[in-house]
Structure 1
Amino acid sequence: MRAPIGDFDTVTPAPDCLDELVAPVAEAVRGWSGGVPADRILHVDTEPEWADTAVFLEHYGRELLDRSANCVVVAGKRGGETTLAACVVLSATRVDVNGAVRRRLGARKASFAPMDTATGGTGMEYGGITPIGLPGHWPVLVDSAVVDLPYVLLGSGRRRGKLLVPGKALAELPNAEVLEGLGLA
């Protein structure tokens, strides 16, 4: 099988390689019910030491920059309460934490969640967090530019491997909300 984007040696429909995924991601793929069939979510094998975006692009091709997205965990605070949310933006942009995210969460202050909070809350490895398989009560804020892509490259829940996902499938995730301008250039 050939990847719809990028040049990867190993491409497998995610339902056929659940053992390569962390438990929450595997469970989400197993129970997938969106309009995009689960077998259109693809897993590509990649080197874990190349997981971070800049290094990844050096090894797998700079042309993937406009077709890849990062998923970051943000903590919004208001009156002693903390709300965790995931934000998915194109890799060439940064999350508008102090604008769009803070307003959407109704928070006085928003910031990137500490690494142990992000990994502990998701059950995923730092550098591999993906919006597929996140806790069901978390808001998943997705930049509209990500949803518009035929396929987007995302983390797989682990540093080893990535997922290729039709952009519109991300809009169908539990608690997903598509926002204009979530990613800033």
Structure 2
Amino acid sequence: MPPRTDPNPAFLANADLPRITLGTGRWGGTEVGTHFDFFGSQCEGKDLANVAGPSDRKHRAYLLQEDAAAPQTFGVDEYILTFPDRGSADQLVKDVSGSLDGCDKAMLTAKVDKTDNISAKGAGGKDITGRTWVITQQVNQTTKQRYRIALAQVDNSVIYLLVPTGESFDFNNGQWRAVGERAGARLSSTL
């Protein structure tokens, strides 16, 4: 289990996020917010800022600084939604996963790649489960926007991670899966 090094122990610590350019850049996280706008990949089928059911919802953004190669839109958003019961969390994961999986059929502008399963043990042996995706949206005739998504669950809490990326500046699949698993481990230590 990672040590508690951050003032917001349920969220990723800055050190949990890999740098993209070797030896360059540093991550910085914003304050945790309980009121936020949700900007996803357009494939989630739910607005996490307003979805019914959570007893608690929080958001934190992470920005990569001091890396000249980083696109201006590059950063990680982490959302944690806690439900009164496990069944409600299970249902949100099922709904969002299904929407992401079928997005290329529902939206002709989307391409969906399922990447890795998230499966790890958290604090107290809690199961961390979920999966990762790469979604590419055709914005116009010449422009595409690519997103990496991780959706993880620990007990009655759901973690959603999103990063807008590009072909040349991105995490690899293994790094992104590890970020999703670490997010689950961080959250599990507070439950």
Q: Which has the higher strand share?
A: 2
Check whether TM > 0.5.
Answer: no
Q: Which has the higher contact order (CA 8 A, sep 6+)?
A: 1
Q: Which has the higher helix share?
A: 1
Report TM bin, short chain.
0.3 to 0.5
